[in-house]
Amino acid sequence: MTQVASNSHRIEINAPASTLIEQAFASLSAGSFGTLNVPTMNASLVNNGSQDSIFSWARRGHWDPGASPLRGYFYGCTHGGSSPDQNMNWVIRYEAESNAWVKETINQPAPYAQNGIHGYGHHALRQSDGRQFVRRRGDSTIYSRSRGGAWNTSSVPALPGTLFLEWNVGDAMEWYPDYNSGAGALIFASENSVYKWAPGDSSWTQLATGLGLASSDGPWICYNRADSRLYFGGGNTNNTIMRRIDPNGAIVARASTPFACGWSPTSKSTPCSSGLTGNRMFAINPSTHAIVEYNHSTNAWSGTIATSPFVPDSELYFFITIPNLGVIFHYISGNPNPWSTMQLWKR
């Protein structure tokens, strides 16, 4: 493997096309879609034999570009209201060298008896060292672990008790590597407010409030690789608001998304930074399947750059951006193919 970019807070790895997923992307032309069969993605991996699954109201996973072998992660929760569904939450790990999804059964966050805990944006990953962070609905606790380590609740302080966490099912959490001159911080968007925690802090700090997100249920968050800035917005009332967080903590209004993003009664689209072609942030229209992208230089969203052959308006799917390769999607509902069919987009 060859290191192609490195600084104090971000690492990217460019590997030879030696694994099946790398070969699959290498066979695609820029802008095209494809598939890869991953046999271990099946019902037993995601739903424990019950009627619900950890894909419920899912959004996105994370790729760990510094891991060797290469790894991708998705943390999900169920939407079920009775045992055992209400207690289902775990991490599944994609292993590139074996083209397999694996259920991580050791040292998971403890079962949480809460009706409708959802997947949403409760998972973040620090790419410089692979540290992961997890929060669940109704819980102020932040679970964290180093790459290959055990989960703990001592690395990151709990969220402020003033937050109304019971119904904050769709809160957005992400690692911001460029915050504070590259020191980095964990960002949490909720209830029209934004909070940050940086290593060494004993508590969370509120950066801003009254941001017009309309509701705590459903905001999205995205680290845009094109300009190394963190963006967030949305909410569950068909909200198109978008904001940018600068490395000094300032929050700036940006162009509205062309359709409602996050979770809303008519939308389930989460902007995400693509893995290639300038790494611009993109979003998929859940009604038309049109893909648009954001140009930070002009502060404008494009017209349609591609049309997804998949069905992104289902609640049961997630995606992961892989630096220098593209984007992978997994669907349970709305997918005419078997669950094991991983969808690829080489952007």
pLDDT digits 0-9 by tens, 98-121: 999 998 854 555 545 454 555 555
The answer to which of 206-210, 244-248, 307-311 has the lowest mean pLDDT is 307-311
The answer to which of 34-43, 103-112, 199-208 has the lowest mean pLDDT is 103-112
> Encoding tokens for residue 347?
């952007």
Please state, in angstroms and rounded to a whole number, the distance separating the CA atoms of residues 340 and 33. 16
**pLDDT the model gives residue 31:** 87
**pLDDT the model gives residue 11:** 36
User: If pLDDT is split at 50, 70 and 90, which confidence band does 10 have?
Assistant: very low
Q: Is the peptide bond before 69 cis (omega within 30 degrees of 0)?
A: yes
124-143 mean pLDDT: 86
Give every strand in the sheet of 219-224, ordered side by side: 219-224, 229-234, 242-245, 251-254
294-314 mean pLDDT: 83
293-319 mean pLDDT: 81
User: If pLDDT is split at 50, 70 and 90, which confidence band does 1 have?
Assistant: very low
> Encoding tokens for residue 131?
């540290």
146-154 mean pLDDT: 88
User: If pLDDT is split at 50, 70 and 90, which confidence band does 9 have?
Assistant: very low
Q: Where are the alpha helices (H) located in the chain, listed in sequence order?
A: 20-26, 43-46, 179-182
- For the chain, give the mean pLDDT: 77
The answer to which of 63-77, 108-122, 153-167, 250-264 has the lowest mean pLDDT is 108-122
Among candidate residues 160, 74, 72, 154, the one with its CA nearest the CA of residue 122:
74
82-96 mean pLDDT: 72
Q: Are 177 and 8 in contact (CB under 8 A)?
A: no
Superfamily of domain 45-317: YVTN repeat-like/Quinoprotein amine dehydrogenase (2.130.10.10)
User: If pLDDT is split at 50, 70 and 90, which confidence band does 215 have?
Assistant: low
Q: Where are the alpha helices (H) located in 144-294, listed in sequence order?
A: 179-182
> What b/e sequence results for 33-68 when a residue is b if at least 16 CB atoms lie within 10 Å of its CB, and e otherwise?
bbebebebbeeebbbbeeebbbbbbbbbbbbbbbbe
- pLDDT over 90 at 274, yes or no: no
- pLDDT over 90 at 339, yes or no: no
CB-count burial class (<10 Å; 0-12, 13-18, 19+) for 333:
middle
**pLDDT the model gives residue 106:** 45
- pLDDT over 60 at 276, yes or no: no
